[in-house]
Amino acid sequence: MAASRYRRFLKLCEEWPVDETKRGRDLGAYLRQRVAQAFREGENTQIAEPEACDQMYESLARLHSNYYKLKYPRPRDTSFSGLSLEEYKLILSTGGARRKGPCLDAGCAQRLLQGRSALCTVLIPWTSLRI
């Protein structure tokens, strides 16, 4: 039974994309690493908690298949900031924080939150933090 679980996880790892722009923080790369650790002996690995293993696989498979995106469709593909998907990808990339662009300078949060006074009072103090 461990062999079939191992093969299912391997198939999921093969299908899960790796985002090269998120070196060191990519979910696909992390998943591959964790599967390698969990199944050190490959198909011969003894699984202590098979139910938990199956539950984890099912959860990851639902994420990979966009189950929740399809179950709860969004009425519009926008957010409060008005940024495009490509702009978010740039910001979230590993080097994004070091780049200067239309929304990556010190006043980014202030511009994004203009006209949203309730959010501004809560979030503006956090814009000065350097992580």
- CA 104-126-25 angle, to 5 degrees, is 60
Domain contains 44:
yes
Over range 80-97, report the average pLDDT. Answer: 75
Long-range contacts of 34-42 (CB under 8 A, 24+ apart): 35/9, 35/10, 38/9, 39/6, 39/9, 42/6
- Model pTM? 0.62
Range of the domain at 52: 2-71
Q: Please tell me the predicted confidence (pLDDT) of residue 26.
A: 85
H/E run at residue 18: none
Q: Is residue 81 scored above 50 in pLDDT?
A: yes
Task: Give, as one character, the DSSP assignment of residue 116.
Answer: -
On whether residue 64 sits in a domain, the answer given is yes
pLDDT higher than threshold 70 for residue 124 = no
Per-residue pLDDT, 101: 52
Q: Report the candidate in 121, 81, 120, 117 with the shortest Cα–Cα distance to residue 102.
A: 81
Does residue 125 register a pLDDT over 70? no
Answer yes or no: is 131 within a domain.
Answer: no
Better-predicted residue by pLDDT, 57 or 22: 57
* Residue at 101 is within a domain: no
Q: Span 21-30, mean pLDDT?
A: 86
Q: Is residue 92 part of a domain?
A: no
Is 9 inside a domain boundary? yes
Instruction: Give the H or E element holding residue 125.
Output: none
